[in-house]
Structure 1
Amino acid sequence: MSGLRERQKAMRRQAISQAGVKLFERQGFQSTTIEQIAQEAGVSAPTVFKYFGSKHEILVEMLQEGDARAISDARAHIAEMDDPLDALCYLEKVLVDQALAMMPPAIWRELLLHVLSGGQSGLPDSYKRMNDILRGEIAALLRDLQAAGKLRADLDVDLAAFLLNDYSHLQLLRLTSTEPLDLETHRKQVRLTSGLILHGMAPPRHDEPAKGRPAKGGPR
């Protein structure tokens, strides 16, 4: 009997979550109320609050699930990549793929505009904790690349993870602001910009050849 009750709870939770996302996409996140979500899911407002503390919690739960899948995918494949640029681009790819699998572009546009405009202070603590966890996972992946000699030994990994996470938010906003989504152009831009971040803007030292040019005295 307890197993049946748990399945029923899980089904009700999923129904509430799906109802919320449906309304967020149709009329916008800010305009959607708990009462409307309850009506769409066929339950009472107190029942919604029993499963989710606020409508933000519906989004956070979905984002956590997508992030977990993306990080697991990245861990399974990045270690095999010799080029750190390939690794960074793959990480961004799986994060975006999972983000779009969990929530439609319209919801991402609204959420990311709020986050990138400095509105994160108004987001619930659960969202901030989720984002901190994601940055920590990105940092752990970068440390693995660093330990394998694919990144500089003196790299500030935590700062790099912070920058990559913010950059990913910005690129996702740009992607979801186009209709239809232009993933091919998005990924080309990500690779160009990630390469700039990875290799830097400083010229090569005198004892190092510029990329694509032979060293002095070397073969022509």
Structure 2
Amino acid sequence: MGLRERKKLRTRVAIRRATYRLIAEQGYEAATVEQIAEAAEVSPSTVFRYFPAKEDIVLSDEYDARLDAELRARPAGEDPLDSMRHVLCAALARAVAEAPDEVAQRTRLMAEVPALRARMTESLAATSELLIRALADRTGRSPDDLGVRVFTAAVLGAVREAMLHWAADSRREEPADPAGLPGLADRALRMLGDGMRLRTPR
């Protein structure tokens, strides 16, 4: 990164941390963009320049480019699902190691705030397109190939549901440990690999 890029990244991180701090103190709805800007020591227009909507502050991150690079770097003959599982679970593990409280708060907000859940679909679409292109290149298919697109949607959907499942557990009496998130995502993706066979309990 050059100096300009590092400065922009620091601003994004400062805005995001200020947002999480305010939400923890007064709740998502009560935290205004003006308050966020003041806490991050930037102007409201700067907040909107980096994040078009308040929901984007919570949902966005800097992991997409790294996901793309790491997926492309996986062994050429590796099963695509194994490649995606390694890359996505490693990204979750890194996020938890670097900022466990933020990961926990973000995941709970995604489960609890309807506006965030709605916006999450749009946010995942951008990540999906990035991974679709990487998978298409790795498998020699077109990015418009239905199989590639359905596969990517299924993988990201499984990870999303694992996160929401974790968030539901975290609202019980004993808050769930965010370190368990990568393992839960790994389990969900292994279920995909096993064919998702659901049997009626006897």
In the alignment, structure 1 residue 146 sits paired with structure 2 residue 142: no
Choose from 62, 70, 83 the match for 1:87: 83
Sequence identity percentage: 26
Higher normalized contact order (CA 8 Å, seq sep 6+, divided by chain length): 2
Mapped contact 1:67–1:99 kept (Cα < 8 A): no
Unmatched tracts of structure 2, length 5 or more: 171-175, 198-202
- Please give the alpha-carbon distance, in whole angstroms, between the structure 2 residues aligned to 1:13 and 1:184: 25
What TM-score does the superposition give when structure 1 sets the normalisation length? 0.61
| Map 1:118-133 → 2, pairs under 5 A | 119-120=117-118, 123=119, 128=122, 130-133=123-126
Shift of 1:14: 4.3
What is residue 214 of structure 1 aligned with on the other side?
none
Shift of 1:132: 2.1
In the alignment, structure 1 residue 74 sits paired with structure 2 residue 78: no
- Please give the alpha-carbon distance, in whole angstroms, between the structure 2 residues aligned to 1:180 and 1:131: 24
Deviates further, 5-14 or 155-164? 5-14
Q: Secondary structure at the match of 2:71?
A: helix
Please list the CA deviations of residues 42-74 of structure 1 after superposition, one character each: whole Å capped at 9, or x if unmatched. Answer: 3454554455443224235x42x1222222222
Q: Secondary structure at the match of 2:177?
A: coil
Alpha carbons of structure 1 residues 74 and 68: separation in structure 2 relative to 1, 3 Å = same
**Bigger Rg, which one:** 1
Alpha carbons of structure 1 residues 186 and 131: separation in structure 2 relative to 1, 3 Å = closer
Please list the CA deviations of residues 164-189 of structure 1 after superposition, one character each: whole Å capped at 9, or x if unmatched. Answer: 22221111222344421324742552
What is residue 57 of structure 2 aligned with on the other side?
58
Alignment root-mean-square deviation, CA: 3.9
Mapped contact 2:72–2:134 kept (Cα < 8 A): yes
- Please give the alpha-carbon distance, in whole angstroms, between the structure 2 residues aligned to 1:50 and 1:95: 26
What is residue 97 of structure 1 aligned with on the other side?
93
| Map 1:1-220 → 2, pairs under 5 A | 12-46=11-45, 48-49=47-48, 51-60=50-59, 62-63=60-61, 65-77=62-74, 79-80=75-76, 82-97=78-93, 100=96, 101=98, 103-114=102-113, 119-120=117-118, 123=119, 128=122, 130-147=123-140, 156-176=147-167, 177-178=169-170, 179-181=176-178, 182-183=180-181, 185-186=183-184, 189-197=187-195
Mapped contact 2:51–2:57 kept (Cα < 8 A): yes
- Please give the alpha-carbon distance, in whole angstroms, between the structure 2 residues aligned to 1:80 and 1:67: 20
- Please give the alpha-carbon distance, in whole angstroms, between the structure 2 residues aligned to 1:32 and 1:156: 42
- Please give the alpha-carbon distance, in whole angstroms, between the structure 1 residues aligned to 2:134 and 2:6: 35
Residue type of the partner of 1:135?
S
- Please give the alpha-carbon distance, in whole angstroms, between the structure 2 residues aligned to 1:26 and 1:137: 35
Unmatched tracts of structure 1, length 5 or more: 149-153, 202-220
Q: How many aligned positions are there?
A: 183
